A and B are shown apart, each in its own frame.
Chain A
Amino acid sequence: MQKDIKRLSFLLLFAPFALWITLLIILPHLGMLHISLREKVAPRVYEFGFGNYLNFFNEPIYWNTLLRTGSMSLLVTLLALILGFPIAYYIAKIAGRRARGALFLMCLIPLWVSDLIRAFGWILLMRETGVISNTLQWAGVINAPIEFLYNDATVIMGLVYTTILFMIVPLVSTLDGMDDAMIEAGYNLGGNGPTVLRRIIIPYAMPGIVSGCIVVFMLTAGSYLTPILLGGKNSSWFTEQIYDQFITRYNWEAGAAFGFVLLAFTSLVIWGGLKLTGQTLNTTVARS
Chain B
Amino acid sequence: MSAPLLSLKDLRIAFPDGDGGMAEGLRGVDLSLDPGEVLGIVGESGSGKSIAMMALLQLLPDSARVSGSARFKGQELIGMAGPRIRRIRGKSIGCIFQDPLSAFNPVLRIGDQVAEAILLHDSSRSRRDAMKAVEGLFERVAIPQPARRLRQYPHEFSGGMRQRAMIAMALANSPELLIADEPTTALDVTVQAQILDLLRDLRRDLGIGMVLITHDLGVVAGIADKIAVMYGGRIVERGATDPVFYETAHPYTAGLIGAVPDIEGTGALRQIEGTPPSIFTRPGGCSFHPRCTRAQAICAQEDPALAEVGNTDCACHFPLIATRTEVAE
Say whether A and B bind each other: no
